């Protein structure tokens, strides 16, 4: 964002430069909260992207009558884009993990692999086992809603759920690798 575009944004917020600066800080904090409430991975980054897009439009000469409504509309779009990007990254990571797993397990039959996974799941605490099984139980189209419900049931944010599931999965993968190595 150029200084000229930023100045135009501040002018839209308030004619008094000091008041405009204070409104900008409050508005940015609200946008950050918006992303936090929705479980965004990087709320600060996404808030800045939202404000930059709005400022760019103002710099292009677009007249905005209700700046708050416009900002939240752009924030919704930025959040939707962020979710699509995360989903693509997760799918790519899942495909890479699956390909690596196929090579590692090539010599073992499905029953041996399943037995190793079951043994490793039983070694987890009841809470961790419930979390990881709940995290992966639904099919692609329903996973997001199921994960939101799981996070709500556990009393944590969606991002915290993702982090916990990732940590548990890393441990499970290590356990299964060790078990498979012993079985092979």
Categorize the per-residue pLDDT at 68 as very low, low, confident or very high, splitting at 50, 70 and 90: confident
pLDDT of residue 114: 82
Ramachandran class of 156: left when φ > 0, alpha when ψ lies in -120 to 50, beta otherwise: beta
Closest residue by Cα to residue 38 from 4, 81, 97, 5: 81
Cα angle 92-134-167, degrees, rounded to a multiple of 5:
60
pLDDT of residue 99: 43
Helix (H, G, I), strand (E, B) or coil at 50: helix
pLDDT of residue 111: 78
Closest residue by Cα to residue 31 from 68, 1, 2: 68
pLDDT of residue 184: 59
Q: Which of 27-31, 42-46, 110-114, 120-124 has the lowest mean pLDDT?
A: 110-114
Count of helix runs (H) and strand runs (E) in the chain = 8, 0
CA distance 53 to 147: 30
Mean pLDDT score, 154-178: 89
Mean pLDDT score, 52-80: 90
pLDDT tens digits for range 7-26:
888 888 888 989 989 999 99
Any idea what DSSP says for residue 12?
H
Q: What is the pTM of this model?
A: 0.49
> Which own/partner pairs from 102-106 qualify as long-range (CB within 8 Å, at least 24 positions apart)?
104/177, 104/180, 105/180
Fold classification of 105-183 (topology level): Arc Repressor Mutant, subunit A (1.10.10)
Q: Please give the residue that has the higher pLDDT: either 47 or 101.
A: 47
Cα angle 140-146-151, degrees, rounded to a multiple of 5:
130
pLDDT tens digits for range 91-145:
665 554 544 444 455 555 677 878 888 889 899 888 888 888 888 887 766 788 8
Query: Tokens standing for 15?
Result: 């004619």
pLDDT of residue 75: 93
Closest residue by Cα to residue 178 from 116, 128, 96: 116
């Amino acid at each position: 964002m150029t200084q000229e575009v930023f100045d135009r944004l501040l002018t839209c917020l308030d004619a008094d430069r000091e008041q405009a600066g204070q409104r900008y800080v409050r508005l940015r904090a609200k946008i950050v909260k918006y992303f936090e409430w929705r479980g965004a991975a990087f709320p600060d980054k996404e808030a800045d992207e939202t404000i930059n897009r709005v400022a760019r439009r103002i710099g292009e000469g677009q007249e905005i009558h209700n700046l708050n409504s416009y900002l939240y509309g752009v924030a919704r779009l930025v959040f939707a884009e962020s979710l699509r990007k995360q989903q693509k990254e997760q799918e790519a990571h899942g495909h890479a993990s699956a390909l690596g797993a196929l090579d590692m397990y090539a010599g073992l039959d499905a029953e041996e692999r399943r037995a190793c996974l079951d043994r490793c799941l039983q070694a987890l605490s009841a809470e961790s086992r419930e979390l990881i099984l709940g995290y992966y139980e639904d099919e692609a189209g329903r996973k997001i809603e199921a994960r939101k419900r799981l996070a709500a049931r556990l009393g944590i944010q969606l991002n915290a759920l993702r982090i916990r599931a990732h940590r548990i999965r890393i441990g499970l993968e290590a356990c299964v690798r060790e078990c498979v190595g012993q079985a092979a």
